[in-house]
Amino acid sequence: METVKKIVQDKVVLVSVIFLSLLTFGIIFADVLSPYDPNKQEIMNKLAHPSSEHFFGTDLLGRDIFSRVLYGGRVTLLLSFFIVFLILLMGIIFGGISGIFGGKIDAIMMRFCDLILSLPNEMMSLCIIGILGPSLLTIILALTIVRFPWYIKMIRTEVLNYKTKNYVIFSISSGKSKFWVFKEHIFQPIIRSTIVYSTLDISAVIMSISALSFLGIGIQPPTAEWGRMLNESREIAVVEPWQIIPAGATIFIVIAMLNYIGDAVAETINETSSE
C-alpha cells in the first residue's frame, strides 16, 4: 500500500495511469464510443481534414481515423497485454521449475533458452511468421517464443537467489515440498520485480506488433491496427503529413507513459526494499 502511495504522488505517473485507463476503456467499449464503423469506406469523403464530424479526419479510403485508432488499440494494446501476460505466466512456471528443482531439468531448460536467445529476436519472429503465414495466432506465437526465454532465465535467477535464504533452507530441510516452498516463500517476492520488467516489456511488444504490421506481415487489412495505419498513410505522408499523426502519436505516447510508469514502479520498489 505504501508503494502505491509513493507512485501516485508522482503527477506524471498519475496522469499516465489516468490516460492509459481512459484509452483502455475507450478501446474496450469502442463499439459504443466509436462514431463510425472503422472499416466503412466513403471514397467521396477521403482525406477529409480533422473536424467536428471526423475528429482525426479520414484516410485514403474515406474511413474515420478516430474510429480506427480506437479499434486499432484492441489489437495493438490489448494484444500486447495478453502476450506479456502469457510470457510472464510461462516464465513463472518454467523458470520456477528450473530454479527450484535444478539438476537435469535445469540444465535442459537453460540449454533450450540459450539456443533461442542466441538467435536475433527480430529475425526469428520474421522467420516464424514467414513460414506459418501472417495471422493473429502467428504473431502471438512468434513474439512469445522469442521473449519467454528471457523471463525463464530471469525468474530462475531470482529463485536461486532466494533458495540461499535461511528460512528457505530450513523449510526444505524440514521436509516441506519444493512446490510448497516456492509457493509460500519465493513466489511473492519474485513476482514484484517480474511485474516491473513486464510493464516495461509491454512497450517493446507494442513496438514489435506495430513494426510487423507496418512491414505488411502482421495484422492484415481491413483490420485496424496502429502499425498498419502508419503503413497505409506513408504513401501520402509527403502531401498529407497529418495522416500519420493519430496512429504515430498514439504509439509514441502509450510507449512513453508505460516506460515512465515502469521506471517509477521499479524505483519505488527499490527504495522500499532498501529501507
Q: Are 213 and 219 in contact (CB under 8 A)?
A: yes
- Residue 77: how many other CB atoms lie within 10 Å: 24
Contacts of 266 (CB under 8 A, 6+ apart): 196, 200
Calpha distance 127→32 (Å, rounded): 38
pLDDT in tens, 229-253: 998 888 888 888 888 999 999 999 9
Task: Please give the grid coordinates belonging to residue 185.
Answer: 516463500
265 or 97: which leads in pLDDT: 97
- 3-class DSSP state for residue 58? strand
Q: Which amino acid is at 192?
A: R
- 3-class DSSP state for residue 257? helix
**What does pTM read for this prediction?**
0.85
Calpha distance 171→218 (Å, rounded): 48
- Chain mean pLDDT for the chain: 85
Torsion of CA 152, 211, 219, 255, to 10 degrees: 70
Domain positions in the chain are 2-39+53-274
Q: What pLDDT, on a 0 to 100 scale, did the predictor assign at position 1?
A: 52
Q: What does the DSSP assignment read for 176-237? A: --HHHHIIIIIHHHHHHHHHHHHHHHHHHHHHHHHHHHHTTSSSPTTS--HHHHHHHHGGGT
Superfamily of domain 2-39+53-274: MetI-like (1.10.3720.10)
Q: How confident is the model at residue 66 (pLDDT cuts 50, 70, 90)?
A: very high
Q: How confident is the model at residue 143 (pLDDT cuts 50, 70, 90)?
A: very high
Q: What pLDDT, on a 0 to 100 scale, did the predictor assign at position 249?
A: 93
Q: What percent of the chain has pLDDT over 90?
A: 18
Q: What pLDDT, on a 0 to 100 scale, did the predictor assign at position 4?
A: 56
Q: What pLDDT, on a 0 to 100 scale, did the predictor assign at position 135?
A: 85
CA angle 203, 204, 206 (to 5 degrees): 65
Contacts of 188 (CB under 8 A, 6+ apart): none
Most confident of 64-73, 101-110, 210-219, 257-266: 64-73
Peptide bond into 241 cis (omega under 30): no
195 or 133: which leads in pLDDT: 133
Calpha distance 66→259 (Å, rounded): 24
pLDDT in tens, 93-122: 898 888 888 888 889 989 989 988 888 888
